[in-house]
Amino acid sequence: MSAPSTGGASRDGYGAALLDIASDPRVVVLEADLGKSTKSCLFREEYPERTISLGIAEQNMMLVAAGLASCGKVPFASTFAIFSERAFEQVRNGIARPGLTVHICGSHGGIHTGTDGSSAQSIEDLALYRTIPGMTVMHPCDDLSARHLTAALLTHDSPSYTRTARNKTPRMYDDETVNSLEIGKGSVLRSGSNVAIIANGVMVHKAMSAAEELSTRGIDATVVDMHTLKPLDTELLDRLAIECSGIVTVEDHSVIAGLGSSVAEHLSQTNPTKIKMLGVQDHFGESGGSEELLEKVGLTREAIIAASESLV
């Protein structure tokens, strides 16, 4: 893959995707006072008659979305990741339990949110939604992949949660390679036989940078963008466990019940493998710059390199 280009934030991809699928009259968009931040405002500007602004009422928004889904609509509901958590019971009982297809987007997730502080830094959202039966959970790494995967939800027949980010990240895809992405299938960005680095979201570009440095040290690393946490690409994991000496998982999320846990849960039953999990340990974040906070919690290129070297 060629060197990444500077792109937009994954939230920009979400907003663009809503316009991509707007020609389907079933698509309706719901906001909880944060349309400008989640980028659903782009749809509202063009299709105000199919946009419902519910104010700061996330629990109500989820149940309104459930009602629309029960009438044949395809609702896309967005808010900040941390605020979606206050509607967990409504998502569980009002959307997922009756099997209604509602697509939720939680923006501004993770430590990467930065100066908003610990109260706004959702480091447990992916873990929460993973526990809901039948729920698809995704965390794209750039604006193009977020756009492609969000648009793919139009024909996806189960409820979903997608986390997006506020800050811009380098693009891992271009207009051609992004078309290969599938919900539930990990994307191999770089192939190597010594160690596998599995990342998602804002950590994917750091994983790629670490792999390039590792190659100068004689270590050949595979890099996987595991944009879908559920359903997990277990076939790919089984292959990597056989081909590589170990696996490093990297996520801007709690190490409890996130990407690393998902990988370990599966491989412990099929191909027990040495795994190093990089993520937020058992504590809250704090206010600070995005890169400053990632460094403080050990989510850096250097940490990925060190973890990879320890497995080879």
Instruction: Please tell me the distance from the alpha carbon of residue 192 to that of residue 215, in angstroms, as a whole number.
Output: 9
User: What is the Cα–Cα distance from 248 to 17, expressed in whole angstroms?
Assistant: 31
Coil, helix or strand for 181?
coil
Give the C-alpha separation, 214 to 302, whole Å.
Answer: 10
Give the span between the Cα atoms of 283 and 115, in whole angstroms: 17
Where do the DSSP E strands lie in 193-245?
A: 195-199, 221-225, 228-230
- In whole angstroms, what is the distance from residue 1 CA to residue 169 CA? 17
Spatial separation of the C-alpha atoms in residues 251 and 238, rounded to whole Å: 20
| Catalytic residue from among 31, 58, 124, 251 | 58
| Residue 58 annotated as catalytic | yes
The CA distance from 139 to 156, in Å, is 16
Active site residues: 58
